[in-house]
Amino acid sequence: MTASRLTTNAPYSAPPTKQEIASLLTDARDRTLLLISGLSDEDLHQQHDPLMSPIIWDVGHIAHFEELWLTQNLDGPIEFSEMPGMYNPFEHPRATRASLALPTLSQMKMRLEEIRSRVLDRLETVEFDESNPLLRDAYVYHMVLQHEYQHNETILQTLQLKKGEPYHAPRARTFPTGQPARKSMVEFPGGRVTIGTDDRSAAYDNERPLHEIELAPFLIDRDPVTDSRYLEFIADGGYQHPDLWSEGGRRWLAETKAIAPKYWNRDGDHWTSRTMDLTRHVDPARPVCHVCYYEAEAFAKWDGKRLPSEFEWEAAASWDAARGQARAFPWGNAADAKLANVDQLSFDTAPVGTFEHNVSPIGCRGMIGDVWEWTSSDFHGYPGFHSFPYKEYSEEFFGSDYKVLRGGSWATRPGAIRNTFRNWDYPIRRQIFSGFRCAQDA
Ligand SMILES: [Fe+2]
């Protein structure tokens, strides 16, 4: 199998009209406000967990990021460090943000509207200058939209950690209970594939450039690891066998004394799991969620497998051997939010196989949506990486401290996920909507 030529697919976003941009901005804001609509000022200002910001901080940060990029920056480049102090993440670590003099929700709403009206005024006169990579194809607008989408997911992590009464999730979709998936793996025959993209319309700098790599043949799980399989791991003493755990994993186990995924509780002979205000018996047919990298790694070893590298993951999700090209989504190149469990509609994972078109060319199911999937890869820039438009998005985080996750979760908005999208986090983190699938050398 060879990559026929190193050409990127169609851009991720066709050049939008100003009208389309305005309605995307409105949609993004409506969603942010919907997510926080039932919350009191106390809920919004409280630090629900040291890992997370008070939710009102995320909202203010969304607004000021938008102001920075869609008003000030359109008139000449300025540094990300010019972001107003209170909402600059580098000046205020998450654990300290509750002590800031954060505005009330009604003050914040006025601020949001005031910034947004200047953004929309400016949009009327902006020229999408082909020679300016920030403006070409409205890149900077897609970047700001994705930023708001990504903070929506962060807010949902906080809401799942919420102190006091659980968050009342505005569920718009439920799934029937499914059947546990049969165990099966699919084969990737190996060869030269393309990784990443040259897209300049919406992709982040860390997804670029498009480049070729050679992959050895491998097997990869057809489905993400389900609760059913994870229950077997627990029942088999997975958390008690030190030889299944890496050194970092053993350290994490000793510190946390974890015996199950986060938000699982034992109830007699059963396990229950909680998502926001819904607690139920663990559903064997759904992908396991809220596990850290070390748990994924230990499970894989117990199962006689390993985690895929991010390149194996991407090839399994995207590589269309018949065309010698990568797809932007497992099902093809067109974004379609209806084809996967994304967009914060279900507030839950779906039984594997629920979305019948969410299948990659080699037959992997559910690679987009449901749960972010841990990979074995550290987060690095691709060969020829150039930070754009600010190094604080990706480059500051490159190195072996972080592991790459792929594929997005039920809490990811569709505009912020595609096969090449790279997320990263510390291997101990599991407040994120994270699961995994395993791989094996062929
Ligand atoms: Fe941010």
Instruction: Encode 55-113 in three state secondary structure.
Output: HHHHHHHHHHHHHHHHCHHHHCCCCHHHCCHHHCCCCCCHHHHHHCCCCCHHHHHHHHH
Distance from the CA of 340 to the center of ligand 1, in angstroms? 25
Reported as a single tens digit per residue, the pLDDT across 109-152 is 999 999 999 999 999 999 998 999 999 999 999 999 999 999 99
Q: Which is nearest to 349 in space by CA: 415, 278, 404? A: 278
Is the pLDDT score of 178 beyond 90?
A: no
Residue 177: per-residue pLDDT: 77
Distance from the CA of 150 to the center of ligand 1, in angstroms? 8
CB atoms within 10 A of CB 100: 18
DSSP E strands in 282-418: the ranges are: 319-320, 325-326, 372-379, 399-406
Distance from the CA of 62 to the center of ligand 1, in angstroms? 7
DSSP state of 359: B
The answer to whether the CB of 404 falls within 8 A of the CB of 423 is yes
Distance from the CA of 389 to the center of ligand 1, in angstroms? 14
Distance from the CA of 397 to the center of ligand 1, in angstroms? 14
Min mean pLDDT across 69-73, 118-122, 212-216, 218-222 is at 69-73
Name residues whose C-beta falls within 8 Å of residue 133's C-beta, 6 or more positions apart in sequence. 139, 200, 388, 389
What whole-number distance in Å separates Cα of residue 407 and Cα of residue 434? Answer: 10
Distance from the CA of 157 to the center of ligand 1, in angstroms? 14
Distance from the CA of 265 to the center of ligand 1, in angstroms? 32
Phi then psi for 388, rounded to 5 degrees?
Answer: -160, 135
Alpha-carbon distances, residue 261 vs 16, 102, 290 (angstroms): 42, 33, 6
The answer to whether the CB of 158 falls within 8 A of the CB of 48 is yes
Distance from the CA of 154 to the center of ligand 1, in angstroms? 9
Strands of 218-221's sheet in order across: 185-188, 218-221, 439-441
CA atoms within 13 A on the CB side of 403: 24
Reported as a single tens digit per residue, the pLDDT across 282-309 is 999 999 999 999 999 999 999 999 999 9
Reported as a single tens digit per residue, the pLDDT across 45-102 is 999 999 999 999 999 999 999 999 999 888 766 666 666 678 888 888 887 888 888 9
Distance from the CA of 88 to the center of ligand 1, in angstroms? 9
The answer to whether the CB of 22 falls within 8 A of the CB of 30 is no
- Give the chain's largest Cα–Cα span: 65
Arithmetic mean of pLDDT, 216-235: 97
What whole-number distance in Å separates Cα of residue 99 and Cα of residue 6? Answer: 51
Name residues whose C-beta falls within 8 Å of residue 200's C-beta, 6 or more positions apart in sequence. 11, 133, 136, 137, 139
Arithmetic mean of pLDDT, 344-353: 95
Q: Which residue type, as a one-letter code, is found at position 46?
A: Q
What whole-number distance in Å separates Cα of residue 429 and Cα of residue 3? Answer: 36
- pTM (2 decimals)? 0.95
The answer to whether the CB of 439 falls within 8 A of the CB of 218 is yes
Residue 112: per-residue pLDDT: 97
What whole-number distance in Å separates Cα of residue 298 and Cα of residue 431? Answer: 18
Q: Please state, for a pLDDT cut of 90, what percent of the chain lies above it.
A: 84
Reported as a single tens digit per residue, the pLDDT across 30-40 is 999 999 999 99
Residue 4: per-residue pLDDT: 43
Distance from the CA of 249 to the center of ligand 1, in angstroms? 29
Q: Which is nearest to 315 in space by CA: 241, 216, 383, 245? A: 216
Reported as a single tens digit per residue, the pLDDT across 388-438 is 998 889 999 999 999 999 999 999 999 999 999 999 999 999 999 999 999
Work out the pLDDT band at 1, boundaries 50, 70, 90. very low
Distance from the CA of 343 to the center of ligand 1, in angstroms? 19
Structure-block tokens of residue 151: 């903070």
Q: 332 in helix, strand or coil? A: strand
Residue 6: per-residue pLDDT: 54
- 319-336: burial string, b at 16+ Cβ within 10 Å, e else: bbbeebbbbbbbbebebe
Residue 183: per-residue pLDDT: 80
The answer to whether the CB of 55 falls within 8 A of the CB of 155 is yes
Distance from the CA of 423 to the center of ligand 1, in angstroms? 13
The angle that helices 105-125 and 55-70 make with each other, rounded to 10 degrees, is 20
